[in-house]
């Protein structure tokens, strides 16, 4: 009953907006290639469903690979940096520089380095690039977040650096790392789409390529269906991370 009451307002608003869109399209008699009505998008979704699903799977796979790569590099680097007080000052400005550089601008370079025959590698690398910062920053903040009195307790009992890391800092970092992962998951999808756009048609066959292809043929309804798939993909990744977090933080 509560759940229904929670769900009703957003569903109602969505239905209203879709109805307004549909009505506007019919009244204004807009060409479908400019703005197709929701009914046409739904039709396109059914018709192009199989190939969109296949492409979504490819994009999903690349985003997940990127997340794993970014997690290993970002987490590993944060761990290394946390062990040496001076290292953070050296590494953090570089990490921030990496974060503020637009991924679109770097994409052509990475594509050249990956080799035009390996556009999928470039996509994974670029998605990992944008997912890197929240993971690095989250893990590093988490490793330093332990209660100062607990740090003192470990001092008092003469804990070794390894004991301190394993029994205090790593467990303290888990909630921060998961929050970083949640942000990184969203960014990884964005990074993958941008990279696919830049690599051009056919080099990879993910959702962004479907968007480009449908756009070239003025199949606007299919473009919108593809965008919808990307939204769902982002939501699925986000929910997966949230579920993992709830499982790990049960206590």
Partner 1 sequence: MAEFIAALRGVTVDLAGRAPLGPIDLTVARGEILALVGASGAGKSTTLRLLAGLQTASAGELTRAAGVGRTGFVFQSPTLTPWADALSNVALPLELAGVSRSQARDRAAAALAAVGLSDRLNAPPSQLSGGMAMRAALARALVTAPDLLLLDEPFAALDSVTRRRLIEDLHALWATAAPRPAVVFVTHDVEEAVYLAQRVVVLDAASGRPVADLPTPGAPPRPDRWRADPAFRQTVEAVVDALEAAMAPQADTAA
Q: Report the interface residues with partner 1, using CB under 8 A.
A: 147, 149-150, 152-159, 163, 167-168, 171, 174, 251
Measured from the CB atom, is 141 or 201 closer to partner 1? 141
Measured from the CB atom, is 3 or 247 closer to partner 1? 247
Measured from the CB atom, is 150 or 227 closer to partner 1? 150
Minimum CB separation from partner 1 for residue 88, in Å? Answer: 20
Measured from the CB atom, is 180 or 206 closer to partner 1? 180
Minimum CB separation from partner 1 for residue 175, in Å? Answer: 10
Measured from the CB atom, is 37 or 142 closer to partner 1? 142
Measured from the CB atom, is 26 or 152 closer to partner 1? 152
199-231 b/e with 16+ CB inside 10 Å = b? beeebbbbbbbbbbbbeeeebbbbbbbbeebbe
Q: Which of the 8 DSSP states describes residue 218?
A: T
Measured from the CB atom, is 50 or 148 closer to partner 1? 148
Q: What is the DSSP string of 76-144?
A: HHHHHHHTSHHHHHHHHHHHHHHHHS-HHHHHHHHHHHH-GGGHHHHHHHHHHHHHHHHHHHHHHHHHT
Residue position matching structure tokens 């019919």: 26
The torsion of the CA quartet 189, 249, 80, 191, rounded to 10 degrees, works out to: 0
Give helix 207-216 / helix 49-82 axis angle, nearest 10°. Answer: 140
Minimum CB separation from partner 1 for residue 148, in Å? Answer: 9
Minimum CB separation from partner 1 for residue 176, in Å? Answer: 13
Minimum CB separation from partner 1 for residue 161, in Å? Answer: 12
Minimum CB separation from partner 1 for residue 174, in Å? Answer: 7
Residue position matching structure tokens 């970002």: 74
Which CB contacts under 8 angstroms, 24+ apart, belong to 238-246?
238/182, 238/185, 238/186, 240/185, 241/178, 241/181, 241/182, 241/185, 242/182, 244/178, 244/181, 245/175, 245/178, 245/179, 245/181, 245/182
- Vertex 213: Cα angle to 207 and 216 (nearest 5): 145
Minimum CB separation from partner 1 for residue 249, in Å? Answer: 9
């Amino acid at each position: 009953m509560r759940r229904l009451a929670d769900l009703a307002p957003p569903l109602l608003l969505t239905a209203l907006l879709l109805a307004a869109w549909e009505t506007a399209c019919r009244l204004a008699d807009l060409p479908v290639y400019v703005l197709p009505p929701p009914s046409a998008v739904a039709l396109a979704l059914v018709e192009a469903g199989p190939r969109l699903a296949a492409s979504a799977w490819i994009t999903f796979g690349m985003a997940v690979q990127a997340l794993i790569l970014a997690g290993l590099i970002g987490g590993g680097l944060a761990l290394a940096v946390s062990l040496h007080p001076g290292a953070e000052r050296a590494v953090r400005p570089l990490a921030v520089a990496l974060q503020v550089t637009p991924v679109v601008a770097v994409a052509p370079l990475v594509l050249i380095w990956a080799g035009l025959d390996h556009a999928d590698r470039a996509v994974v690398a670029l998605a990992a690039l944008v997912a890197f910062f929240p993971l690095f920053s989250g893990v590093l903040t988490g490793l330093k977040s332990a209660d100062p009195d607990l740090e003192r307790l470990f001092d008092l009992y003469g804990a070794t650096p390894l004991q301190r890391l394993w029994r205090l800092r790593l467990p303290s970092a888990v909630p921060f790392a998961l929050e970083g992962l949640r942000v990184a998951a969203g960014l990884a999808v964005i990074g993958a789409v941008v990279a696919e756009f830049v690599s051009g048609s056919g080099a990879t066959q993910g959702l962004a390529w479907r968007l480009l292809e449908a756009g070239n043929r003025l199949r606007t309804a299919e473009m919108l269906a593809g965008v919808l798939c990307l939204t769902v993909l982002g939501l699925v990744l986000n929910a997966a991370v949230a579920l993992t977090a709830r499982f790990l933080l049960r206590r």
